[in-house]
Amino acid sequence: MLNNKSVLITGGTGSFGKKFVETILRDYPSVKRIVIYSRDELKQFELKQKYPYEKYPQLRFFIGDVRDEGRLRRACEGIDVIIHAAAIKQVDTAEYNPEECIKTNVHGAQNVINAALATSVRHVVALSTDKACAPINLYGATKLCSDKLFVAANNIKGGRDLRFSVVRYGNVMGSRGSVIPFFLNRRENGMLPITHEEMTRFNISLQAGVDLVMFAIGHHLGGEIFIPKIPSYRVIDVAKAIAPNAKLEIIGIRPGEKLHEEMITSTDALNTIDLGKYYAILPSVSFNHNREEYINHHHAVPVDPTFYYRSDKNTEWETVESMQEKIREYVDPNFQTK
């Protein structure tokens, strides 16, 4: 699928970007070019040490910001596939710096779209978040806006052979700023802060997130928001898995935070289809494909009109033991409980 193709990853030095690069190099050895596009020169330097040019001549490193449309267009020359992973993601950071979050997450998304329309790009897949579903914080609101921009971009592509779609998933195990590394760093104190004892979240590994993006590249018609079927966990069980003997202190839900996360609302259900391993929310307005075309293409079935997908109402759950196994598999192979 990506052999002899050129791929650009915005935010390519982040947790997802690094895993995506690793996966491409492993599964598509004949990839033509991988462009790492990000604004952090230190992280690019560190990634260059892992992938030296002498051994990985297909890698290119572009310093640039998604806020800079001109630089994006230059980086997209000769690119076949764009994976848009760049974003301001910390909820509290976005609340305190709303204009900066909007510049990156909304204006940056439109810049990616404009760059794809102006060049020979064939596929664009944007990363979203469960916080974009019925958002209550600015980060989620900007990502919902971004999702809408990418879905609607299919209606302005004209005669171009170009498809835009979105992938949406929950908390990624071990990603920077997430709860697992936070608890691992704090457990030596003998106390872990818990926002609410009933709080739940969706759980996905980095590799599963990458696999979802690969599925989107290979199967999208354009306009879909793809959502994986993944387990939920109780945050209190994550704490018990990491530090079973630690004291748990309930500190209260933080501003802009939900008790439970949602990826498909009951309103979304009217446009949602079940693909088997994934769900897909179809565009409410599409000038390219009708509902039946999407269903037939994906060999899917519509979900029940009353369906919704929320972390506390999931049918699949992580346990303390399964979380310990997954932490060893996906985060730290030397992990031991304390």
Integer Cα distance of 133 and 77 in angstroms: 33
Q: Helix 320-330 and helix 235-242: axis angle, to 10°? A: 70
Structure-block tokens of residue 45: 């330097």
| Amino acid sitting at position 321 | E
131 is catalytic: yes
Q: Is 20 exposed, middle or buried (0-12, 13-18, 19+ CB in 10 A)?
A: buried
Alpha carbon distance 291, 277 (integer Å): 19
Residue 233, CB-side half-sphere exposure with 13 Å CA sphere: 23
Query: What's the alpha-carbon Rg for the chain, to the nearest Å?
Result: 20
Q: Which two tokens stand for residue 23?
A: 């996966």
User: Of 5, 131, 143, 258, which residue is the catalytic one?
Assistant: 131
d(CA 155, CA 16): 28
Is residue 288 within 8 Å of 223, Cβ to Cβ? yes
- The catalytic residue positions are 131
